[in-house]
Structure 1
Amino acid sequence: MQLKWVTSMQTRSFTRSSPTLAKKKKSNKKGGNKKQDAQDEENEVVEEIDTRKLLKEAENEFAKSIELYNKRVTQVKMGRANPSIFDGLQIQLANQRKAKFQDVAQTTLKGGKYLTVTVFDPHDTKNVVSAILAANLNLNPEADPNNPQLLKVQLPNSTKEWKAKQLKELKELTDDFKTAHNNKSSLANLRGRYLKQIKDVDGSKDVIRKLETDIDKLFKEYATKLADSFKSSEKTLK
């Protein structure tokens, strides 16, 4: 697949002109001769891609990355007060069966001081308690004497050690969203994907360089937003 520039006078803040790309879809025939190749060239289907829209799409993807990062930051800051804290647990049921925590119980936060766990089947209550204790979260579920399906989990006061653990998680999360190429939502991954698209273009080197510069500007802009969000969250954990 080959991409070519088609000149257009649309404007955008990134560049003075916004050319479009012509994406060519070649014939899938194999083993042709020169005459056939020439015929295939004539039969190519051209799809125009507006670079202004390409940049807008890239900007939207960078914005979504920051939005997802902020959601993950909220979860880290909530720590043990997060109702989703048990969602990754596997519950050992009868007959050697295993189930996800969400399939056998539901957790809610009460007043910021404790969690309540509602077990759907009273026969699974002991297994849910065992799974929570085995997770080493320093949380001790207590059964309600009047309701065998209800557990109360008192939340301990935040300690320096716990805050340090949260801060470490926050730093790792920030690095992941900035530089991890194996994270499809990271800024580095997005930058790499769009630069790869641009490298596949056959056109003016000056125009290509401008578009690459625009992508780099977006990367730096949202990397700054990521750093600002981290600094703001870091203050709350110190």
Structure 2
Amino acid sequence: MEEIELYLDDARDSMNKALSHLSHELTKIRAGKANPSMLDGLLVNYYGASTPLQQVASVTTPDARTLFVKPWEKGMIQEIEKAIINGNLGLNPQNDGQQVIINIPMLTEERRKQLVKQVGHECEQGRISIRNIRKDTNEQLKKIKGVSEDDIKNAEDKVQKMTDDSILKVDALMKKKEAEIMTV
């Protein structure tokens, strides 16, 4: 029984990690509002080393349509601009000598629909990941020796319930993000 609980805990942890990964991926999809996380994962050339933007500058949102990127060192402004342009984010940075200013354009209807498709794709990847965790856990449960078939069946039912709950959470994340994108 203890071994079964270990597998169930492992499956629960893995499904929670899959959900948090999906949630993180969805924050990268911009919904037309300025958000500092839009620049997550952007690397800046800092004295020859690729460095995350957050380590060389602060990113703030003074309003819903603007991002300010204020470098710790003024000499980094051009490198930050270059990183934003090369990051293929569809953003056009400008600088005022003190900081980089990014105006977030309004999303067109066509772009909104593309983003909704992208959200759907990310959520489907999350569902696949959760189903794979279920499959792997069920295979591990079947390999346990010295446990009754009823105990294995009960454990598989618990795994299925965890899977169903996790997929409902994925669907909720998807609905929320789609609503956020389609709201003008």
Matched, 1:150 2:103: no
CA distance in 2, matches of 1:178, 1:213: 18
Across the two proteins, how many residue pairs are aligned to each other?
A: 180
Alignment of 1:134-145 (within 5 A): 134-144=86-96
CA distance in 2, matches of 1:229, 1:188: 17
More strand by share: 1
Which amino acid in structure 2 is aligned with residue 190 of structure 1?
I
Q: TM-score, normalised by structure 2?
A: 0.79
Alignment of 1:145-224 (within 5 A): 148-179=97-128, 186-202=129-145, 203-224=147-168
User: What's the RMSD between the two structures over aligned residues?
Assistant: 2.7
Preserved CA contact (<8 Å) 1:120 1:149: no
CA distance in 2, matches of 1:225, 1:131: 34
Q: TM-score, normalised by structure 1?
A: 0.63
Alignment of 1:29-48 (within 5 A): none
Alignment of 1:1-80 (within 5 A): 20=1, 49=2, 51=4, 55=8, 58-59=11-12, 61-63=14-16, 65-78=18-31
Percent identical residues: 24
Which amino acid in structure 2 is aligned with residue 128 of structure 1?
I
Preserved CA contact (<8 Å) 1:75 1:82: no
CA distance in 1, matches of 2:103, 2:85: 13
Stretches of structure 1 that go unaligned for 5 or more consecutive residues are: 1-19, 21-48, 180-185
Stretches of structure 2 that go unaligned for 5 or more consecutive residues are: none
More RCO (CA 8 Å, sep 6+): 2
Matched residue, 2:43: 90
Matched, 1:124 2:68: no
Give, in angstroms, the shift of residue 127 of structure 1.
Answer: 1.9
Alignment of 1:94-105 (within 5 A): 97-100=48-51, 101-105=53-57
State the structure with more CA Rg: 1
Preserved CA contact (<8 Å) 1:104 1:120: yes
- Residues 105-132 of structure 1 show CA distances to partners (whole Å, capped at 9, x for unaligned) of 2211121120000112212211221222
Which amino acid in structure 2 is aligned with residue 159 of structure 1?
T
Distance 1:157 1:188, change over 3 A: same
Preserved CA contact (<8 Å) 2:66 2:103: yes
CA distance in 1, matches of 2:110, 2:121: 17
More helix by share: 2
Matched residue, 1:106: 58
- What is the aligned counterpart of 2:67 among 115, 120, 130? 115
Which amino acid in structure 2 is aligned with residue 228 of structure 1?
A
- What is the aligned counterpart of 1:234 among 165, 178, 181? 178
- Residues 106-163 of structure 1 show CA distances to partners (whole Å, capped at 9, x for unaligned) of 211121120000112212211221222233333222222xxx3312111111212331
Distance 1:236 1:85, change over 3 A: closer
